[in-house]
A and B are shown apart, each in its own frame.
Chain A
Amino acid sequence: RFTPGQVTVITTDDHNATWHGFTRFKDAEKGSRVSGMSELKKYFQRFGYLSIPDNQNCSFTDVFDAQFESAVVLYQKKFGLPVTGKLDSDTLSEIMSPRCGVSDTGPKVRATKH
């Protein structure tokens, strides 16, 4: 326990922070195949941008396909980012940012434009 008023010094390196590994997808675009991209697709599925694949074992591939491109476009619109359809540095920086676990979009969320 710390006594109030005492400066708390904790130094934790953020290189092993969750999602830090997504940096390797920088500038990936439709048609490319990058090892591990299925993990990024799970991230998009978790926050409502991609539906679970309806293939036999419901698993994502490492291919940047058209479905994933439209998920990236949806994400860029939701976050007010330039809509490029690519994993540019602004988009990746936002993806790797710490965030709330509630889904952004999808069947449970009804967006209201004001």
Chain B
Amino acid sequence: QFVIDELKSAMGVMQHHDAITGTEKQHVAHDYERILNNALEDVMIVPNQAYNKVLKAKGYEGPELEYKRCRLNESSCSISERKKAFTVTIFNPLAWSVTEPIRIPVVDGSYTIKGPNAKEIQYQILDIPESVKNIPTRQSLATHELIFIVKLKPLSFQSYHVTKNEKTKRNIKTQKERKNDFYTNLNDYWTNLKTPIDIKNLEDKENRRIQDTICNENLEIKDRNLDFDVLKSS
């Protein structure tokens, strides 16, 4: 209760008109950040206790997990970008079901994400844009974001277990390999390049195909008319 009160107190300070609109002096802005960040860090004890209690109630017998919040607004997270396995616990504070995309900052690689009931779920990995990587205050190893979509029931949480797969092949190529790749691609490109003559041939082929189709359709119509005549006479 003490730490929750501390957060409530910080939130009270943040109701000041200067804090809301951003019309405070620079050093006051930094002080607001300090107050709010400290209160948020301290209050983490509450979800930590709560989640561990629920885990135990569900039959989990291992050591207590330490839950941390991350600076996802700048795509950085010390746990997801450094650990080979981690859990992501997502809580829906609303009283209705929601579908939300989740973006987890990670280092490039292959991952396995297991959702509730230990079922593997689909994910996508995308590189973090340079503009975000270059944010002056950002300190992170993450180069990519792991994206998956969660469907959460009202006021519920779900835990996802993420494991980084062992590397099967080298991601970093040598200069020689890069050079070889480049010349192979170049060769492929020139081999497959269509010349104006190729296009003309393609056009002729397409025209022939269209003519054939029209011809076939005419034949079908004729057949149908014939059937109809037979039917009428009978």
A and B found bound together: no
